[in-house]
Amino acid sequence: MAADTPHTDARLAAGHDKSLLRFITCGSVDDGKSTLIGRLLYETQALYDDQLGALAADSKRYGTQGDEPDFALLVDGLSAEREQGITIDVAYRFFATDRRKFIVADTPGHEQYTRNMVTGASTADLAVILVDARKGVLTQTRRHGILAALLGIRDIVLAVNKLDLAGWSQDTFAAIDRDYRAFAHSLGIERVTSIPLSALRGDNIAAPSTYTPWYEGPSLIEHLERVEAGRADAEATPLRLPVQWVNRPNADFRGFAGRLLGGRVRPGDRVRVLPSGRESSIERIVTFDGDLPEARAGQSVTLTLADEIDVSRGDVICAADDPAGLADQFEATLVWMADAPMLPGRPYLVKMGASTLGASFGHPKYRLDVNSLEHLAAKTLELNEIGVANLTLDRAVAFDPYAVNRDMGSFIVIDRYTNQTVGAGLLHFALRRSQNIHWQAVEVDKAARMRQHGHKPCVLWLTGLSGSGKSTIANIVERQLHARGAHTYLLDGDNVRHGLSRDLGFTDADRVENIRRIGEVARLMVDAGLIVITAFISPFRSERRLARGMVEDGEFIEIFVDTPLAVAEQRDPKGLYRKARRGELANFTGVDSPYEAPEMPELRIDTLADTPEDAATRIVELLVARGVLRSG
């Protein structure tokens, strides 16, 4: 590895001030991607690499006189890595020439690894798309072009590889070039550089090949050295610095650390901090090596302000005369990366910059066919699918559209329960209603209604399998509360399906939407000062957490009506289990759809030990103990 060589420190120091180009390589199976990466590492002075690149570079540059490393060994090493399945994740390679440093994302070409290409391309300035000269432009070639365009890459290198196996035919190369340029034009990509190659032989990789005298363009490495990196575009955008850390080592210093995602900044520049909207001016630009007269996009710095204004982690320091947008609802492209599908209405976490926010998605407007660009109808998004949907956050956030600033307009999606990354997205624009709809203040509020009713409002959320006895217990609870003079309303699963949710089925996505609607209705009823009793299977923990989050702390009481599946199926008062077992009823909880039991309910009812009347009495006693009802 490079860290073990005596030359590493000098080489790193020499490359410190070089510009950086990030690019991806992609192509169909057997187009020669691994061979090309191996050749690039072999032909350059590799700074460092976590596999074989640095070793190969050191062998070439510092090996004994007359010795040359075995290029086939390097390619075999990369191929062995592929066989071990490492390319399910993106592998990054690092190398450098005398003019520039490079980070190349080695992304797999298979359609099932679409998420991996999206990950690699999200920070890339350029894409090298390989084409086998014998096969021409394939469906997979077009797919990669579509994804590159979607992710904002506007520089494409069409590497027409294995031209030696096509007799170094200029006509073959020209036909592939014409075909791909026409396709790229339809995507709005105009900067296409086509290069005839033999990655295995090294032709036109680092130097012109004698086999292509008709080709007058640059070699691949020469082009990569010359192409303009994306940071130049970032510097032309307005100032954006998301605050990652508030640095206050003593009373005399308060700085805001982060990486500039756009623009330039100098002491004296006026800035605006979002979401607060407060303004100040830059006093100092602080780095470990001392203050700077100017900082540019891509640099990590600490800014101090001339005024003492409130700035926190996750806030964004913007140019005062051209601030970022501020909204909590967006249209977004979403790339789904999890085995479990994206379910509209389900609560997720979204991470944007240094901010983590509660989020949910609406029903997809469409799913994108990455082979044809066709917009397809979809209710959910499955693994590796790309679609467009509305995104709702739990608070407003500073943003730029992805097309304007890729860093300010991108986000990742995190599962609340597993804490795993399940998706990534690109913001298109804020929904107009998020800026035009405001909360209307009312004079008669929940507190006034509570005083009139003589008790506190809450939601009694009964959950359990079909046949567990939820509806029976709920009815008895409401009867007992009514006898005490409490103001109540019972929301029963079957009754709601006759009206509010009559358009929904029983797929996972429809179940999520059903519970979201019930949660919203229950929230309104709690605001009306009522004790709301719900009796729903509500099989998913995520949706029960969503409903809990819609009301204030202490107002949601989860009651697990615990009945073993065998007992519930034996009862089967509606004959539903029998239908499900015969295959006449799909997506039935407990048979072919899961039930996620509550982990920490406020109350557990054991229906094998408690009668429905006893269970109802325990629930009412719990309300008294929690102060919802007065005793007596």
Is the alpha carbon torsion for 133, 134, 139, 140 positive or negative? negative
Q: Are residues 178 and 195 in the same domain?
A: yes
* Residue 163 in this model has a pLDDT that exceeds 90: yes
Lowest mean pLDDT among 133-142, 297-306, 425-434, 526-535: 425-434
For the chain, the residue count is 632
Instruction: Specify whether 461 is located in the same domain as 597.
Output: yes
The confidence band for 587, taking pLDDT boundaries of 50, 70 and 90, is confident
Q: What is the pTM of this model?
A: 0.66
Residue 113's pLDDT is 64
CATH of residue 56's domain is: 3.40.50.300
Instruction: Give the strand order in the sheet containing 531-535.
Output: 488-492, 531-535, 458-463, 556-562, 603-606
CB 534 within 8 A of CB 459: yes
Residue 177: the pLDDT is: 95
Residue 441 located in a structural domain: no
pLDDT tier at 270 (50, 70, 90 boundaries)?
A: very high
pLDDT on residue 164: 93
7, amino acid identity: H
Residue 112: pLDDT band (50, 70, 90) is low
Residue 568 CB: number of other CB atoms within 10 A? 23
- The dihedrals phi and psi of 206, each to the nearest 5 degrees, come to -110, -20
- Residue 631 belongs to a domain: no
pLDDT band, very low/low/confident/very high, at 555 (cuts 50, 70, 90): very high
Report which DSSP code applies to 198.
B
Averaged pLDDT, 389-408: 90
Residue 374 burial (10 A CB sphere; 0-12, 13-18, 19+): exposed
Q: Any idea which of 15-24, 236-245, 297-306 has the lowest mean pLDDT?
A: 15-24
CA gap 196, 200 in Å, rounded: 13
How far is CA 345 from each of CA 245, 364, 368, 380, 511, rounded to the nearest angstrom?
32, 11, 20, 11, 10
Query: SS3 letters for 423-445?
Result: EEEEEEEECHHHHHCCCCCCCCC
pLDDT at 35: 87
pLDDT at residue 76 greater than cutoff 50:
no
Between 1 and 577, name the one with better pLDDT: 577
pLDDT at residue 68 in the model: 35
- Do 100 and 153 sit in the same domain of this protein? yes
Residue with tokens 């320091």: 317
Stretch (H or E) spanning 578? helix 576-581
Whichever domain contains 274, its CATH number is: 2.40.30.10
pLDDT score of 237 more than 90? no
Q: What is the pLDDT of residue 232?
A: 55
Q: Does 484 reside within a domain?
A: yes
CB distance 122 to 410 below 8 Å: yes
| Per-residue pLDDT band at 37 (split at 50, 70, 90) | confident
Q: Is 185 helix (H, G, I), strand (E, B) or coil?
A: helix
- pLDDT beyond 80 at 244: yes
The pLDDT value recorded for residue 47 is 41
Across 379-408, average pLDDT: 90
Residues 563 and 528 in one domain: yes
Residues spanned by the domain of 569: 446-625
Q: Which residues are bridge partners to 358 per DSSP?
A: 349
Asked if the model's pLDDT at residue 233 lies above 50, the reply is yes
pLDDT band at 64 (very low <50, low <70, confident <90, very high): very low
Start-end of H helices in 454-507: 470-483, 493-497
More reliable by pLDDT, 145 or 217: 217
pLDDT of 442 higher than 70: no
Q: HEC profile for 232-257? A: HHHHCCCCEEECCEEEEEECCEEEEE
Tell me what pLDDT residue 230 has: 59
User: For residue 573, what pLDDT is reported?
Assistant: 79
3-state DSSP assignment of residue 156: strand
**Domain final residue, candidates 298, 319, 340:** 319
Residue 10: both structure tokens together: 């000098």
Residue 268: count of CB within 10 angstroms of its CB:
9
My answer on whether omega of the bond before 275 falls inside 30° of 0, hence cis, is yes
DSSP 57: H
For residue 78, the model assigns a pLDDT of: 39
Mind giving me the DSSP string for 350-372? EEETTEEEEEEE---SEEE-TTT
Active-site entry in 312, 538, 542, 631: 538
For 346, the token pair is 């389900």
> So what's the pLDDT on residue 60?
36
Query: Do 482 and 567 share a structural domain?
Result: yes
Higher pLDDT among residues 492 and 435, named by residue:
492
520 within a domain of the structure (yes/no): yes
Span 29-49, average pLDDT: 74
User: Average pLDDT in the 579-589 region?
Assistant: 82
Dig out the tokens for 236 from the structure.
Answer: 């032309």
As for how many domains the chain has, the answer is 4
For residue 480, pLDDT beyond 70: yes
Q: Averaged over 418-425, what is the pLDDT?
A: 88
User: Which of the pair, 222 or 418, is modelled with greater confidence?
Assistant: 222
Both 310 and 365 in one domain: the answer is: no
pLDDT tier for residue 397 given thresholds of 50, 70 and 90: very high
- What 8-state DSSP symbol labels residue 585? S
Name which residue leads in pLDDT, 117 or 346: 346
Which strand (E) or helix (H) includes residue 510?
A: helix 508-527
Integer Cα distance of 255 and 491 in angstroms? 53
CA angle (223 as vertex; 220, 226 as ends), nearest 5: 155
Count CA atoms within 13 Å of residue 79 on its CB side: 12
pLDDT band at 80 (very low <50, low <70, confident <90, very high): very low
What is the pLDDT, as a whole number, of residue 118? 76
Residues 333 and 207 in one domain: no
In a domain, 440, yes or no: no
| CA-wise closest residue to 243 among 324, 325, 311 | 311
Q: Is 161 helix (H, G, I), strand (E, B) or coil?
A: strand
Lowest average pLDDT, out of 48-62, 382-396, 444-458, goes to 48-62
Cα 253 to Cα 242: distance, rounded to the nearest angstrom: 19
Token digits for 126? Answer: 């350029």
CB 511, CB 517: distance < 8 Å = no
Q: Is residue 439 part of a domain?
A: no
Mean pLDDT of the chain: 83
Do 451 and 532 lie in one domain? The reply is yes
pLDDT confidence band for 433 (50 / 70 / 90): low
pLDDT above 60 (res 201): yes
Q: How confident is the model at residue 205 (pLDDT cuts 50, 70, 90)?
A: very high
12 domain residue, yes or no: yes
| 498 and 583 inside one domain | yes
Task: Check pLDDT > 70 for residue 72.
Answer: no
Q: Bridge-partner residues for 318, per DSSP?
A: 240, 272
Take residue 307 and report the two structure tokens written for it. Answer: 């005024």
Q: Are 17 and 184 a contacting pair, CB within 8 Å? A: no
Residue 194 is a catalytic residue: no
Residue pair 22/75 in contact (Cβ under 8 Å)? The answer is no
What is residue 319's predicted lDDT score, i.e. its pLDDT? 93
In this structure, are 271 and 396 located in the same domain? no
The verdict on 518 and 404 lying in the same domain is no
C-alpha 604/C-alpha 559 separation (Å) is: 6
Would you place residue 1 in the very low, low, confident or very high pLDDT band (cuts 50, 70, 90)? very low
Three-state SS across 265-291? ECCCCEEEEECCCEEEEEEEEEECCEE
On whether residue 632 sits in a domain, the answer given is: no
- Average of pLDDT values for 514-518? 87
Do 281 and 271 touch, CB atoms closer than 8 A?
A: yes
| Rounded Cα distance, 203 and 229, in Å | 25
**What is the C-alpha separation between 204 and 162, in angstroms, rounded?**
12
Domain C-terminal end among 205, 229, 253? 229
Q: Give percent helix, percent strand, percent coil of the chain, each to the nearest 5.
A: 30, 30, 40
The b/e string for 286-315 (b: 16+ C-beta within 10 A; e otherwise) is beeeeebeebbbbbebbbbbeeeeebeebb
Instruction: For residue 77, give the nearest of 101, 110, 42 by alpha carbon.
Output: 42
What confidence score (pLDDT) does residue 515 get? 86
Same domain, 453 and 504: yes
Instruction: Give the pLDDT band (50/70/90) at residue 16.
Output: very low
The confidence band for 127, taking pLDDT boundaries of 50, 70 and 90, is: very high
Asked whether the predicted pLDDT for residue 4 surpasses 60, the reply is no
Q: Of 434, 463, 487, which residue constitutes the final position of a domain? A: 434
